[in-house]
Structure formats: structure tokens, C-alpha cells
Amino acid sequence: MFQKLKKRWGVNNLNLVLIICTFAIGGSLCGKAGAKFLELTNLDKGILWWLAYILSVTILWPLFVLAISIPLGQFVFFKNYLKKVWERISGRHKATIQVAIFASGAGSNAQKIIDYFKMKTSVKIALIVCNNPAAGVIEIAKCEGIPYIIINNQQFFNGDHYLQLLKEHKISFIVLAGFLWKIPVSIINSFPNKIVNIHPALLPKFGGKGMYGNHVHQAIIDKKETESGITIHYVDEWYDHGKSICQITCPVEIDETAESLAKKIHLLEHQYYPKTIAALLKKLK
């Protein structure tokens, strides 16, 4: 049960304990406050009393929970949680944007994106698409309970088999997170300006086929570049060619190695990719 809550809310063990404590303390205090309030009404403890008690507790509970969440450091979580509850009961929530993540490797960027959108009511990571059955991102999909597809080379590049699958999952936006295959034109044309990629260098330098992972970082070091970074861009029919959305830079030190530069780049990716995706999706609403 607790493991499911951790995954659902995207929190660690400590935050899970603090969240449960907030629920418990807030619920207990608002229950006592509701009873104290009804003492002032002189109502007999009958059906009317219980109806009034339930109503008062319902009104007081969000206030008490938010108040308790502040000293326990969980205010942001409960603000988002209560917003999500209100949108559901009021029927005011907007249609959810269904996002597919395409990945080929361990899936560290995919995990950060999944975690970022867990408590977002209007965005759902609805599908993982992978071309490598041994990739770590498959385990992430299983752990997170996200449907996944392992694609076949021939079917991916010939015909519209996977385009139909994307439509069946109601995908409206695609995120590439370390996906090593070129996206077929049929998919690009069906998702205009709705496919984004992150490249571990400052395009247009050090882009193109084969420029991924440590291959990119070593090429940058060999050319004695003093600066590297990430490029988040739209995807078109050529490798690393689509319109740039944003670039974030970092210095390349004199004694830099491909491994040390990779660590810098990963930090930038994890920090900026989910936020940039969120900003793009906000424009779609």
C-alpha cells in the first residue's frame, strides 16, 4: 500500500510519512473543531447534529490540512492535492493531455518527466515507446504502471502501424528522451510542433546521426570547446535539426572528461526538460 502511494504521489519515504501525519493531524483537529463549534448551537445529538457535523468538518478539513502542512513542509503537495480534488468534484478540470515518451536507454530523463507530472491534473504520461527490450526505461514503465510498447524496426519505418497505436492511446504530444531512432515522417506530419527532443550539446554544433551520449561529450572535448550544454528543440525529419526551443549552457573545464561533462549535462537535462515540456503543454490547453 505505502509503495503504491509513493509511486502515485512521487514522494520519498520521509515525505510520505509527513503527508500521512498531515492527513491524520489535520483530520483529528478539524473533527474536534467541528464538535466544539456544534456545542455552541445547542443542537441535540441526532440526525441534524450529525449532518451539521459532517458539513462543518468538510468545510474545515482543507483549512486545517493546509495549516498543518506548512510546518511539516508539505504545503506544495497539499495545495496541488486539494486543487486536484476540487477540479474533480466541481467538474472544472480540463481534458487531460496524453503524452508519450520515446526512449532507448536507462530512462533517467523519462523518470524525471514522469515524477514532474504525477500531481498535474491536466497532463498524463500515458505511454512509453522503446526500441530496446533490454532498456531500463521498460522497468520504469512497469514500476510506474504506465503502458509501454517495444517497437519493431520494419513496422516503425514502414507503414502507419505505430501511428495508429498512438491514436488509440489518444496521444497528443510526444517527448523524445534519449530515443536513438529517427522519427518517421508519417508521425512527424501527424504531430506538427508536438514532438520535442533534448540534445546533449549546443546545436547546430555536434548534432546528427551518431551524436549521442559520450560520443557527443568526447567530440566537444576533442574540439577544445569551452562551453557545452543542452538544446531542447522540435523534431523534424532530420537528426537534431528542428527549431530550437531553448538552450542552457555549462562550462567545459580544461581537465574535463566525457564522464564528468556527462554529469553536468544530465543535471541540466533533469532540471530543465520537464519544466520546458510543462510550458509547451500549457500553450496547448
Q: Where are the domains of the chain?
A: 2-90, 99-284
Strands 227-234 and 195-199: antiparallel
CB 118 within 8 A of CB 9: yes
Contacts of 190 (CB under 8 A, 6+ apart): 163, 166
What is the set of active-site residues?
Answer: 199
What's the pLDDT score for residue 90? Answer: 67
What's the pLDDT score for residue 213? Answer: 83
The set of cell numbers assigned to 235 is: 523534431
What's the pLDDT score for residue 45? Answer: 81
What's the pLDDT score for residue 285? Answer: 64
The set of cell numbers assigned to 192 is: 506538427
Give the span between the Cα atoms of 113 and 246, in whole angstroms: 17
CB 137 within 8 A of CB 127: no
pLDDT in tens, the chain (285 residues): 667 776 667 677 888 888 899 989 988 988 888 888 888 887 788 888 888 888 888 888 888 889 999 999 888 888 878 877 777 776 655 668 999 999 999 999 999 999 999 877 789 999 999 999 999 999 999 988 899 999 988 888 887 888 889 999 999 999 999 998 999 999 999 999 999 999 999 999 998 888 888 899 999 999 999 999 999 999 998 888 899 999 999 999 999 999 999 999 999 999 999 999 999 998 876
What's the pLDDT score for residue 256? Answer: 93
Interaxial angle between packed helices 258-284 and 108-117, expressed in degrees from 0 to 180 and rounded to the nearest 10: 30
Q: What is the pTM of this model?
A: 0.73
Residue of 174, 173, 244 lying closest to 207 (CA atoms): 244
**Architecture in CATH for domain 99-284:** 3-Layer(aba) Sandwich (3.40)
